[in-house]
Copies of this chain bind each other. A is one copy, B any other.
């Protein structure tokens, strides 16, 4: 897109020879590779980079950054490309830095319950490696994302209610700055009062401040006992009332996931859950010592019953648990399968749990008014829920209705004291909503961005809407 290139950013041609000298075969300008790196998931339009680099070390990433910096060439960091918000599109062209070859687990300590990994290690591979040490890493976004990408987008998933998000589980980072310095942030200490919290600043920065190349993670010991359960409710208020009661009682559930009636219809059909009804449903998991798990199961069962819950399904054996959680995780595919040929647009509102029932009920009324189908699932222990808005990608009018519904859902969350994105991030899609949410804080974010990336080469066009005086 040379037309849209602002004068402040440079073109890649002058540095291509030096990049080739540095990377050899690990630099690609082929169309197929560039297009593979130009979209991410759920992004209709393609914005390919001018070239893709596959570095193998911190030093190579730093050398790449220095070359790009000298010529003001945009840099777009890339992990597995599973972001739903267009984080990896090369809106201004430039160089995509694909970190998937940096995929070594650098160290695992069962005694300290931590590990250090290169950015390209994926969460499933990490967990496979951790199992033999009796540990696991609890953050589970739907995709098998890279740890670097998960740090960059502040990812979470179904277990955040118990274990937190990437914000709480990253102890430190190695970051390459836009001008090619290799900087370590944080330490292996669990807590620290030592200076400005650069680790948390880079976590969630979506590649706009620098490239994350290594991540120090906090880990958990494998629980002695695990139990899962499903409970169905007469209406949404009952299911969410049970959620609030469980949280208020301080019952340390490992997962508490909500699925609405429409999504249940799709799940029952897709995952053959014939024993279940098309009703608002909670999927729960409990972890801990056997007595603690039994006590939690009993306490949550009593709460659910009091709220009118029924159709309890307890799953203690691993294969029963897997079947239930696979059905929950397959929601997206169940939705696609329900109406073949349609696209699904996700939303990501997150509100205080006290406002969750009201927020979801208003949102469902809004869905009904648009005439679109939009099943709803939620990490309700965190106040986070997703609509899967189904629309015909070839019909601009439907697309516009879907866009409007998504925007209003984000605005509603902000109005209720929450956020337009609980875990998917801003990317290129939610700049306006995020600006509305931040208010005056947006100017402070730009001050920080400009201080750490003064040339504006890091992932331009993402995360932060330009201020009026920058437009």
Contact = CB atoms under 8 A, between A and B. Distances in A.
Interface of A: 109-114, 134, 153-156, 160, 164-165, 167-168, 177, 181-185, 187-198, 200-201, 203-205, 209, 220-224, 244, 247-252, 288-292, 294-296, 299, 348, 350-355, 382-384, 413-414, 417-426, 430, 434, 437-445, 447-452, 463-464
A107 to B, nearest CB: 10
A244 B114 CA distance: 13
Contacts of A464: 195-196
A129 to B, nearest CB: 17
Given A195-B204, A292-B292, 13 more contacts: A111-B352, A113-B248, A155-B193, A183-B441, A184-B440, A187-B417, A187-B437, A191-B422, A194-B421, A222-B250, A252-B252, A291-B295, A448-B448
B192 A350 contact: yes
10 contacts: A111-B244, A156-B191, A184-B439, A184-B440, A193-B424, A195-B463, A196-B449, A196-B463, A221-B248, A289-B295
A111 to B, nearest CB: 4
Contacts of A248: 110-111, 113, 134, 221
Contacts of A450: 451
B193 A421 contact: yes
Contact of A198 (B154, B222, B224, B445): B445
* Stoichiometry (number of copies): 2
Contact of A190 (B155, B197, B383): B383
B184 A441 contact: yes
Contacts of A355: 112
Nearest to A245: B111
Contacts of A224: 249-250
A403 B236 CA distance: 62
Given A204-B195, A418-B187, A444 B438 contact: no
B445 A112 contact: no
- Residue among A153, A165, A248, A418 with max Cβ neighbours from chain B (10 Å): A248
A252 to B, nearest CB: 7
Contact of A177 (B192, B382, B444): B444
